[in-house]
Amino acid sequence: MALENIIIEHEKGIATIFINRPEKLNALNKATIQELHETLKLAEQNPEIKVIVITGSGEKAFVAGADISEFAHFSDEEGATLARKGQEILFNFIENLKTPVIAAINGFALGGGLELAMACHFRIASENAKMGLPETSLGVIPGYGGTQRLPQLVGKGRAMEMIMTAGMIDAQTAKAYGLVNHVVPQADLFATYNQLADKIMRNSPIAISKAIEAINANFKDGVNGFDVEIRTFGECFATDDFKEGTNAFLEKRKAEFKGQ
């Protein structure tokens, strides 16, 4: 698939995906969502890619939301289909990816942009970042998982306030809320996510994918997260990575994980 709306760079185990529509503040149109889906699917299948980072091109925006021009004339049914399909192919898809995904929020992360960042496994932000779910100001509500993931991350009261006021919070407030883990000057964003990715890459890719599955189970209806933890914990014992990790510790050497 030819990529027109995103750029992917792959170096030393880290794939960085840039959403690249800077003239539209990287707004997520249908084509961009499809390209992200295809690219993430391929990245997950590539054993050389150990960490994925999603960020925005330019210095102004991560993603300023779903592309309003594409859905302004939609009917109720078309609206529901837009949300259902988007959740399935991008937002839930990212959350359940086996490869860790970090959002590097480099500017505005609004509406679908903040929802995209919240679907990633964790988030870091530059000092100039601004975040919010402004959908009620457009007469609609967040449809890409925002009403569910925002309260999970910041608590129900703060999520209610952010969604009802449609306001933006700055990066330091987002950090105080637990929405982002780190805030750094924009010039340091690249180095920061690379350092975090390097730390992740020292560990077993299989164990990391099992940890993602077990942590996500805590937020799934009708799923007992403790049972998922027991199962995935047990599955780790059948891997070469587990043998390597425990042997390396006992032999006082650095583990060389193969992800098998």
Q: What share of the chain is helix, strand, coil (3-state, %, to 5)?
A: 50, 15, 30
Instruction: Identify which of residues 51 and 129 has a Cβ nearer to ligand COA in the complex.
Output: 129
Rg (CA), the chain: 19
Rounded to the nearest whole angstrom, what is the least distance from the CB of residue 110 to ligand COA in the complex?
A: 4
* Contact between residue 91 and residue 131 where contact means Cβ atoms under 8 Å apart: no
Instruction: Identify which of residues 27 and 214 has a Cβ nearer to ligand COA in the complex.
Output: 27
Question: Catalytic residue among 35, 44, 95, 135, which?
Answer: 135
Question: Catalytic residue among 11, 23, 115, 244, which?
Answer: 115
Instruction: Identify which of residues 180 and 206 has a Cβ nearer to ligand COA in the complex.
Output: 180
**Interacting residue ranges for ligand COA, rule: CB under 6 A:** 24-25, 27, 64-69, 108, 110-112, 134-135, 138
Q: Is 44 a catalytic residue?
A: no
Both tokens of 161, joined, read: 């306030």
**CA-CA distance, 2 to 133, in Å (whole number)?**
31
Rounded to the nearest whole angstrom, what is the least distance from the CB of residue 189 to ligand COA in the complex?
A: 19
Instruction: Identify which of residues 100 and 145 has a Cβ nearer to ligand COA in the complex.
Output: 145
Quick count: other Cβ atoms within 10 Å of Cβ 230? Answer: 12
Rounded to the nearest whole angstrom, what is the least distance from the CB of residue 216 to ligand COA in the complex?
A: 25
Q: Is 135 a catalytic residue?
A: yes
Burial readout 210-223 (b: 16 or more C-beta within 10 A, e: otherwise): bbbbbebbeeeeee
Q: Is 52 helix (H, G, I), strand (E, B) or coil?
A: strand
Rounded to the nearest whole angstrom, what is the least distance from the CB of residue 79 to ligand COA in the complex?
A: 11
H helix and E strand count, the chain: 12, 10
* Contact between residue 128 and residue 153 where contact means Cβ atoms under 8 Å apart: no
**CA-CA distance, 173 to 175, in Å (whole number)?**
5
Rounded to the nearest whole angstrom, what is the least distance from the CB of residue 250 to ligand COA in the complex?
A: 53
Instruction: Identify which of residues 24 and 30 has a Cβ nearer to ligand COA in the complex.
Output: 24
Residue numbers annotated as active site: 115, 135
